[in-house]
Structure 1
Amino acid sequence: MRILVVDDEESILVPLEFLLKKAGHQVVLARTGEEALEALSRGTFDLMVLDLMLPGMDGFAVLERAKALSQRPKVLVLTARGREADRAKALALGAEAFMAKPFGIQDLLSQVEELAGGR
């Protein structure tokens, strides 16, 4: 699976990249919402792991803009914003799954595999 990971925290990006590559996935990293949309416009992804709290354009705006893409990937929101209202908004904007930080590595990998199975 080709996965776009969008997060501005190196302490999240680096381990996620390592874990997802170890699980056999291709991984592309983006640190801002703008970088994420640029990556989405240049290539096709099966999954986007998206933080909501990004510098500049937030994850909600990325979700909104990604809806217009003909080849929009599935979206797993992975964020420290774990309130019910944030979850509801993300799912309403088209995210398939929502996980709050901190998260368990095995839980994340299981969620990625579950989303991959639906493709």
Structure 2
Amino acid sequence: MAKILIVDDDIAVQATIKLLLERAGHSIVVAGDGREGLARLGTGDFDLLFLDIFMPGMDGLETMRMIHQQQPLIPIIVISGRPIALDAGSAPDFLTMATKLGAVSSLQKPFKPSALLAAVARCLEAARQPSTSSIAAGEAASRP
């Protein structure tokens, strides 16, 4: 069982993810925006974080940057309802951008429950496996 934080301004999305993950045996905490997510992150040890990219106030990319400063090793799954860019002339692909900035996985809304649960399982398993990149990130984070 993992302790998971969901940061999303859409109450229906929060409820859906929370229900799916609780049914899978996880403990869930929700936050409605980036600032609240950062506050909740500081109050508990979380194993995984779901983070919406587009929220009012502090967006998901800024929230992710601040989370990485506080807890660089926490796995983050970014979610977004904005369409993925199919060609170079259209809007940027924010999900890909977020993974390049440090998210370990991404999901396009609406997503299938099986895709969500598979992403969670992959991220939690990867977080349990010591890797050179996470060891290096931990060492870098511990330097003054």
- Shorter-normalised TM range: over 0.9
> Pairwise CA RMSD of aligned residues?
1.4
Paired letter, 1:111: A
Q: Distance in 1 between matches of 2:97 and 2:83?
A: 11
List runs of 5+ in structure 1 lacking aligned partners. none
For residues 52 and 78 of structure 1, do their structure 2 counterparts lie closer, same or farther at Cα, with a shift above 3 Å needed?
same
Runs of 4+ in structure 1 deviating by more than 2 angstroms, as ranges, are: 81-85
For residues 16 and 88 of structure 1, do their structure 2 counterparts lie closer, same or farther at Cα, with a shift above 3 Å needed?
closer
1:21 aligns with 2:29: no
Whether the 8 Å CA contact 2:80–2:95 is kept in 1: the answer is no
Which residue number corresponds to residue 101 of structure 2? 93
Fraction of identical pairs, as percent = 34
Which residue number corresponds to residue 10 of structure 2? 9
TM-score (norm 2): 0.77
TM-score (norm 1): 0.92
Q: How far apart are 1:71 and its partner, in Å?
A: 5.7
Bigger relative contact order, structure 1 or 2 (CA pairs below 8 A, ≥6 apart): 1
Which residue number corresponds to residue 113 of structure 1? 121
For residues 71 and 89 of structure 1, do their structure 2 counterparts lie closer, same or farther at Cα, with a shift above 3 Å needed?
closer
